[in-house]
Amino acid sequence: MDRMDRMDEMERVDWMDFVDGHGLGEFAMSEPEKLIPVHGGYRHLKSFQVAQLVYDVTVRFCERYIEKRSRTHDQMVQAARSGVQNIAEGSQASGTSKKTELKLTNVARASLEELRLDYEDFLRQRGLRQWTREDTRRAELVARRCTTADEVANWLREVHGRDGRNGLAGQATGQTAPIKFRPSRASIKSTYPELAANAALVLIGVACALLDRQITAQAAVFVESGGFTERLYRVRTERKRHA
């Protein structure tokens, strides 16, 4: 999924409501300016919430479809975890270092990109279909606004049952297969890992798009207001003026 794909996911739902009194709002200076501004509101960030959902989904996926003793299993779980932890750590560090916040948020973004490649590899190496940009299931999952791995699993069961009855076996044609066609048990069963991997890719795309915007906003604030040293100078100057 390229950058345009990720932005398409963003356009289908208003994910920018993640500025709900926290999130990017924590980057704005209060009046009067404080030496250590409000920070650490990462639990209210949609980027954190979606990344955490990706982590939970990935843990389940790896338990079911990736050999537990394989290096890939550990790498996928750790990459998903890194996405969540670095968002949180960056938000908490923002009180004294905007540079650190920006760096860690970018690390989170890079970790999710690594995870995306692992899911794509899983599909390609097993001859499973990766959903195209036009696949309606992508928009359907985003619109569902799942908040837990259980909700994602419930959606997967719905889609699996629907595709199995229609004989789609993972294809997003939107058309019912001819009556004479009956998919085999093996072909229907194979859609579970295919659906799960593609669903994870959609969620990763949403998280990455959110993080791209978050990084852009953080960079703009850093350039405009500087870091801790510049803020310390402004606070000292203001206090001397009113002394």
Instruction: Quote the tokens at residue 208.
Output: 């990455």
pLDDT score, position 130: 95
Angle between helices 185-225 and 3-12 (to 10 degrees): 90
pLDDT score, position 76: 98
Task: Dump pLDDT digits (tens) for 88-112.
Answer: 999 888 766 788 889 999 999 999 9
Percent of the chain scored above 90 by pLDDT?
Answer: 54
Using pLDDT thresholds of 50, 70 and 90, give the confidence band for residue 208: very high
Distance CA 81, CA 73 (A): 12
Using pLDDT thresholds of 50, 70 and 90, give the confidence band for residue 75: very high
Give the residue with greater pLDDT, 183 vs 73.
Answer: 73
Q: Which domains does the chain have, with CATH numbers?
A: 3-146+201-241 (1.20.1440.60)
SS (HEC) of the chain:
CCHHHHHHHHHHCCHHHHCCCCHHHHHCCCCCCCCCCCCCCHHHCHHHHHHHHHHHHHHHHHHHHCCCCCHHHHHHHHHHHHHHHHHHHHHHHCCCCHHHHHHHHHHHHHHHHHHHHHHHHHHHHCCCCCCCCCCHHHHHHHHHCCCCHHHHHHHHHHHHHHHHHHCCCCCCCCCCCCCCCCCCHHHHHHHHHHHHHHHHHHHHHHHHHHHHHHHHHHHHHHHHHCCHHHHHHHHHHHHHHCC
Contact 55, 84 (CB under 8 A): yes
Please tell me the pTM assigned to this model: 0.72
In this predicted structure, the answer to whether residue 212 has a pLDDT above a threshold of 90 is yes
Give the residue with greater pLDDT, 22 vs 112.
Answer: 112
Percent of the chain scored above 70 by pLDDT?
Answer: 62
Quote the distance between the C-alpha of residue 87 and its chain's center: 11
Instruction: Report whether the peptide linkage leading into residue 32 is cis, meaning its omega lies within 30 degrees of zero.
Output: yes
Distance CA 107, CA 115 (A): 12
